[in-house]
Each structure stands twice: as C-alpha cells, then as structure tokens.
Amino acid sequence: MNITSSHKNNYLELKLEGRLDAAWAEHFVSTVSAAMREGRHHIRVDALGLSYLSSAGMRSLLRAHRELTSVNGSFAVIRASDFVVNTLSMSGFDTLLALDEAPAEAVADEEATSAKSKSWSVNGVRIESYSQQEDGHMEVHTTGKWTPWQPLREEDCAKIALGRDCIAIGSGAPADEWQNAREQMGDYASAAGCTAWLPGTGADAPDYLVQEGRYVPELLAASGLRAVGSFSQLLRFSPENDGASLELPRLLEAVFSSTGSTKAAFVAIAEAGGLVGVTLSRSPGLISEGEHADEFPGVRDWMSFCGERVHHGRQVLLVGFADASGSGQSQPGLPAIPSRPGWKLHVHAVVFPFRPLPNGEIFMSECVEQLFAAAEPIAMLHLVEDERPTLGLGKSSFIRGACWCAPASFHTENRK
Amino acid sequence: MLEINNVVKTFNPGTPNEVRALRGISMKLEEGCFAAIIGTNGSGKSTSLNAVAGSFLPDSGTILLDGQDISNWPEYRRASMIGRVFQNPFAGTAAEMSIAENIVLSMRRGMSRGLGMALNRRVREEIRERIRPLNMGLENRIDNAMGSLSGGQRQALTLLMATWLRPKLLLLDEHTAALDPKSAAQVATLTKEIIEREKLTALMVTHSMQQAVQLPQRIIMMHKGQVVEDIHGVRKARTQVADLMNAFDRVRRRDLFDQSVAEQVLPQYA
C-alpha cells in the first residue's frame, strides 16, 4: 500500500492506494501516529485508491479515529469507493465516512486559537501564549531543612501533603516513619495530585502516588520546594522547522516574559529533544557523620549522571521553579545554573512514553492526570546543565509541548 | 561447591600490553547452583571461567572446588572434575571420529583407559539411549563422523559429553553464541534441562540477556575485571532483560561520571 501525505490548510490528507489489510495496517497506524506527533490532529483519509479493506485494516482506521478524538482531533474517510462505503456501512462503522470537505473542527480550532493567543518565534520554535487565571500566582515554600550533602537528621525532614492544590519537587520518601524513610530518600516531583518518586535505592524507574478519593499522597521531605496557587499563563510551543527545539533557558525566557515576572513556578508537558540530568542513586539518609559524600570519586555512589543526552522523543513532565532576578541572595532549593549568571533554577523531569497532547488551550490537572493514567513513568531526573568545553552535554531541550506558569514568591522556612 | 577468593590476574605485566584482566574477583557457588556471568567485552567473564578451568594460574587468590584448593592444579588435573563447553562447536569434539567414538572418550574422562575394546554393543546401546532425548535423530547415526553434523547438533552432543560423568562443575563459555537462533534456543533449553535434571553446579558466560534471565538461578555481572552486580534469590525472580540493560547502563554512566562532571553538576544539586 502506498500512502501519500498532503498538508491542507487545516488538516492532513492521507491518500491510500492499494490494500489496507493485516500486512499494511500497522504501517498506516504508524503514519497516523507520526503525524499526530507533529501536531496534526485533523486527518482525512482519501480512500479512492483503496482496492481492498480487511477487518485488520478497518481496525486500524478505528484506532486512528480513537487516538485522534482523544486529543480533540478528528478523523474521517473521504472519497470512499462503493465497496469501502459498503464494507464500513455493513460493519456499522459508517460514522467514519465523511464528505470531501475540510473538517469544521479544524477551522473552529484555528479561529479559537487566533482569538485567544499571542504568538512569537524563538530559534525556529513557535510559541503561543494563552492567559489562564488573570491574577494567577504561586506562593513557594521550602520543605525540609537538609543541606546537600550533610548527614540527614530526622529533625531536618518535614511531612508534606501532595494534593491537587500544589506542585512540588525535592528529595524525600513516602513513609510515615523516619526509620523507613531514611534508607529510601530520593528525588520526587508532584503536580495535580500525581507524585513520581525515584527511590534512592538505585532503582531505575520511579514509583508513583496518585490522589484518589480521600487519599492524598504524603511524603517525608528532606529538602525541596512546594507551591500553592494558580497558573496565569499557558505557553504552547512547536517547531516551525525540522529539528528545531527549545532549550530550557529559552523556554524560561518565554515564561518570564509572558508572566511579567523574573521569578516563576511552572509545570510543563513536552516531547524531549534530549535531557541532561542527575538522580540520587543512594539515600542521603545513609550519609554518616564526617563522610564527604560530595567528593569525587565517592559521589558516584550517591549520585548518578545521565552520561549522554537521554529520552529523546519521550513525553516529559517538568515541575520547576526559577529565579532570574539576579539577586545575590542564596535561596535554598534554588541552585545557580552555569549558562546564565544570576539565574537560579530547580527542575525535576518525569519521563513517560510519548503521548500526544491536544492542541490549543489545555489545562494542567487534566493533562497530568491523563499522563499518569495512560502509562507508568520510565525515569526521573533532576535537570542540570553540562557546560564543559567540548565534552559537555549542554542543556535539556524540548521539541513541542505545553508549559503552565505563574509569577512566584519564594519564602524560606527557618533553617538550623 | 565453587569458591573463588580475591583472584587477580594481569597479563603481560609491566609491558605496554599489560591487561589487568581480573582485579580481585570473589564468588561462591553452592552445590546445584546455576549462575550466569554477563558483562561488557573485556570485562573478565571468559577469563574468570578460564581461571577456574586452569587455562592459566592466577597471580594471587584461591580457587576451591568441592572443598579442595585447586588454585595450583594444572588444567588436565582439574578436567577430571570439570566439564566444559566452548563457544566454537568444533572445539569440544573430534571431527574425524564418529559420534560414538567421541562419546566413549568422554565416558572415560579422568579414568585410566586400558587396551580393551572401548565400543562394545552394551556401550553403543547406552550411547543411543542417552542421545535419544535430544530429539535430533542422532541415535541412528552414531557411526557418522562428528564433522558431518551441524553446529547445533555438535554443540548438543558436546554438552551431553561434558555432563556424561556428572562433573563437580560445568563451565559453559558462550556455548550458544556461534549457533543460528533456532539451534541456540534448542541448546539453551537442553542446557537448562540437563543442569536441572542432574542438579549440576554450573557457571555460564553469555552475551544473551534473554538467556541470562531465563536459564540460571543467579546472574553475576562483571565490569573491568570486577564483580559489580550479583543478582540472586527473589531479586533474580523479578529480573527482566530491561533490568539487565539498565544495570549495564548504570555501569557505563558511572564510567562517564568523572571529576569534570562532578565539578559541573554538584553545585547544581545544592
């Protein structure tokens, strides 16, 4: 079977020629998935050249329809020959058939987008900004009093609730008692009542806790940041040219300019161009008195470095806090980054298999909950920049996605 | 059954070609334990097996087999207690000799061989009985030259020969790596069957993660001449191929985490 794609104004047309049967169904589904990854959510199949349609082929059409409608897109078969019309009708799938015309939903989407958003381009990436909550703002508090890489004491830890009302990142463990928690302290990220946590036991994949009914996940946090409030802006970004992506500081520049603040809290769901980061591979609760856990080479027992740019093409949930005010004051939980003097940044990334997001204005809680419901997290990273000359891996970058953000006020608890 | 204590071996010491092949490896295999050794190229997997088999003597450390210190025993003396299957299907058998002649040699391994007829009717019948369960139809071809068989058939027979006298230890050195996928799967299944049936203590070097997950009870991972992971018990029961790939990745990432990385990333984890 031959598939020819042609980009129309508001939709993608796939012209099928030949047999859509078991041998070709997967190829068709892959073509649709690749188009969805590029943000094409309205697809029409030109079936005039289709010579055969088996049940396997029909199932692939239905799958495409289901996947596209799940991201508020649309799918239909147009210019169907009599036998295709008959086959689909007799099987009860004639809802897939449409007249030869542009999808009305696509036109409506475009009109809605242009009415509600502002857009600009950065390095070949188009960014659209939507206002969400007019007075959206985040109050950020430090949680826990542990200073890396000192021995961790019970009194340094704080019990925190990670419900739908907050976003949070840091190091901790979901246990009621210190004794249970101290051996498992690891990095965590939480948004919309969904918390991913990588146990500091050398585990490869994160565990996760999701708010259900009256159950609200709780953690014993050694250190970190937790914010409550609402988002003022949504940024949608996607590449205008093949291969374009947005490095994290560039995304943050967009966050600062759209929120009108140099301090911000944000959550993003984005397709990774490549991530650079570290994870706790051993619980800091096990650091003994007088031990220098942050000295090389011993630090390799406590921390794992990604070694190369990782997770290209996967969907990533980012939860982060940034301060570009240039204030010389140190803020616990907000380390400086090497590429931008005066900037402080703390971002955790939870990695999932790729799953397309709906286009246009979308809401954080819904998207994060769907992400956790659809698949289990694969990995977790505390993002860092690697600016070493020649060998450096650079900065994490993102191809397309959504970033919800708000101006932030930082408050520090008294530390011992 | 097998105890390796802090064995060190450096090849070509003091020369530009110096290779520190084993940097103090230790492991203990209980009787009836089947363990796989996995690792990157040059990690010391095969060298460990050869150290046990006696292909060379270690620079330091001890090797105990069945309670006896065999560290300084020559290879031929250890052969009476150890069965071996090599990667090359042609290495474990004599191509010019018949199947029966090859097998009768292994039947008297470590024993004195007199001048009587080695192959009589009773022995030939025993050979047929033992090779029938291979389901390769070889029981009707025991007078055929070994060289006329396929790699998979030769390796299956080598495995049978290596275990004919129930060795104290069976060493398998990537014994399915040179076979086509179907033969490799057949020999792998046969390996598990024989080891379980005979309750053998066995050490297998493999590059196949699938085999390491499916066949043995224990997985030992080596890197740069050292044991870096020892997966057994309940942890082995839940180990999947992806977990082993992750373990390799951890080792690789650790190598990439040098002083310059530490200087770069530590201030960003404050």
Q: Is B224 on the interface with A (CB under 8 A)?
A: no
Q: Kindly identify which residue of chain B lies nearest to residue A381, measuring between CA atoms.
A: B269
Is A381 within the bounds of a domain?
Answer: yes
Q: Which residues pair with A171 in a beta bridge?
A: A187, A223
If chain A, 416 residues long, is cut into consecutive pieces of 10 residues, what is the mean pLDDT of each piece?
A: 89 93 94 92 92 92 93 91 88 80 68 76 91 93 92 92 96 88 95 96 92 94 96 94 91 95 97 96 92 90 94 97 86 91 96 94 95 95 94 95 96 66
Q: Is A381 on the interface with B (CB under 8 A)?
A: no
**According to the model, what pLDDT value does residue A416 have?**
47
Is A107 within the bounds of a domain?
Answer: no
Is A322 within the bounds of a domain?
Answer: yes
Q: Is A387 on the interface with B (CB under 8 A)?
A: yes
**According to the model, what pLDDT value does residue B129 have?**
85
Nearest to A169 by CA among A372, A343, A346: A346
Return the DSSP state at A231: -
Q: Is B260 on the interface with A (CB under 8 A)?
A: yes
Q: Which of A294, A336, A392 is opposite residue B266, by nearest beta carbon?
A: A294
Nearest to B190 by CA among B146, B138, B148, B232: B138
Do A127 and A151 share a domain, yes or no? yes
- Indicate yes or no: CB of A300 within 8 angstroms of CB of B257: yes
Size of the A and B interface in Cβ pairs below 8 Å? 65
- Indicate yes or no: CB of A391 within 8 angstroms of CB of B252: no
Do A141 and A178 share a domain, yes or no? yes
A124 phi and psi angles, rounded to 5 deg: 80, 10
How far apart are the C-alpha atoms of B171 and B51, rounded to whole Å? 11
Q: Which of A296, A337, A391 is opposite residue B262, by nearest beta carbon?
A: A296
Structural domain count of chain A: 2
Q: What separation in angstroms does the CA of B3 have from each of A20, A390, B168, B169, B233?
A: 61, 46, 13, 11, 19
- Indicate yes or no: CB of B269 within 8 angstroms of CB of A388: no
Do A84 and A123 share a domain, yes or no? no
Q: Kindly identify which residue of chain B lies nearest to residue A145, measuring between CA atoms.
A: B270
Q: Which two tokens stand for residue B116?
A: 């009587």
Q: Cα distance from A142 to chain B (closest Cα, Å)?
A: 13
Residue A323: burial class (beta carbons within 10 Å; 0-12, 13-18, 19+): buried
Distance in Å from the first CA to the final CA of chain B: 49
Given A102, A133, A158, which residue is the final one in a domain? A102
Whether residue B243 contacts residue A204, with contact meaning beta carbons closer than 8 Å, is answered with yes
Q: Is A99 on the interface with B (CB under 8 A)?
A: no
How far apart are the C-alpha atoms of A91 and A105, rounded to whole Å? 26
Do A331 and A377 share a domain, yes or no? yes
Do A55 and A133 share a domain, yes or no? no
How far apart are the C-alpha atoms of A161 and A167, rounded to whole Å? 10
Q: Which of A303, A306, A387 is opposite residue B264, by nearest beta carbon?
A: A387
ipTM of the complex as predicted: 0.86
Whether residue A323 contacts residue A249, with contact meaning beta carbons closer than 8 Å, is answered with no
Do A159 and A199 share a domain, yes or no? yes
**According to the model, what pLDDT value does residue A158 have?**
92
Q: Which of A278, A297, A336 is opposite residue B265, by nearest beta carbon?
A: A278
Is A404 within the bounds of a domain?
Answer: yes
How far apart are the C-alpha atoms of A126 and A359, rounded to whole Å? 13
How far apart are the C-alpha atoms of A265 and A116, rounded to whole Å? 22
Given A75, A102, A129, which residue is the final one in a domain? A102
Which residue in this structure is represented by tokens 């508020």? Answer: A72
Do A62 and A135 share a domain, yes or no? no
pLDDT at B93 > cutoff 90? no
Q: Kindly identify which residue of chain A lies nearest to residue B267, measuring between CA atoms.
A: A335
pLDDT at B142 > cutoff 80? yes
- Indicate yes or no: CB of B253 within 8 angstroms of CB of A307: yes
Q: Cα distance from B241 to chain A (closest Cα, Å)?
A: 13
Given A78, A102, A126, which residue is the final one in a domain? A102
Q: Which of B254, B260, B268 is opposite residue A335, by nearest beta carbon?
A: B268
Do A225 and A283 share a domain, yes or no? yes
Whether residue A77 contacts residue A112, with contact meaning beta carbons closer than 8 Å, is answered with no
Residues of chain A in contact with residue B262, where contact means CB-CB under 8 angstroms, are 296, 299
Q: Cα distance from A345 to chain B (closest Cα, Å)?
A: 8
Is A108 within the bounds of a domain?
Answer: no
Distance in Å from the first CA to the final CA of chain A: 69
Q: Which two tokens stand for residue B8?
A: 């060190």
Is A266 within the bounds of a domain?
Answer: yes
Nearest to A351 by CA among A325, A404, A319, A314: A314
Residue with more model confidence, B64 or B109? B64
Do A12 and A136 share a domain, yes or no? no
Those residues whose C-beta lies under 8 Å from the C-beta of residue A19, and which sit 6 or more positions away, are: A1, A50, A51, A52, A53, A54, A57
**Domain extent at residue A397:** 116-411
Q: Cα distance from B89 to chain A (closest Cα, Å)?
A: 38
Is A274 within the bounds of a domain?
Answer: yes
Q: Which of B257, B262, B270 is opposite residue A148, by nearest beta carbon?
A: B270
Residue A130: CA count within 13 A, CB half-sphere: 20
Is A375 within the bounds of a domain?
Answer: yes
Residue A156: burial class (beta carbons within 10 Å; 0-12, 13-18, 19+): buried
How far apart are the C-alpha atoms of B231 and B234, rounded to whole Å? 9
Do A146 and A19 share a domain, yes or no? no
Q: Is B266 on the interface with A (CB under 8 A)?
A: yes
Do A209 and A271 share a domain, yes or no? yes
Whether residue B87 contacts residue B174, with contact meaning beta carbons closer than 8 Å, is answered with yes
Q: Cα distance from A88 to chain B (closest Cα, Å)?
A: 41
Q: B20-71 pLDDT, tens per residue?
A: 999 999 999 999 999 999 998 889 999 999 999 999 999 999 999 999 999 9
Residues of chain A in contact with residue B261, where contact means CB-CB under 8 angstroms, are 305, 386, 388
Q: Cα distance from A147 to chain B (closest Cα, Å)?
A: 7
Q: Which of A303, A335, A386 is opposite residue B267, by nearest beta carbon?
A: A335
How far apart are the C-alpha atoms of A117 and A362, rounded to whole Å? 12
Do A89 and A126 share a domain, yes or no? no
Q: Cα distance from B246 to chain A (closest Cα, Å)?
A: 7
Q: Is B238 on the interface with A (CB under 8 A)?
A: no
Residues of chain B in contact with residue A307, where contact means CB-CB under 8 angstroms, are 252-253, 256-257
Q: What are chain B's domains? A: 2-258 (3.40.50.300)
Instruction: Identify the CATH number of the domain in which residue A47 sits.
Output: 3.30.750.24
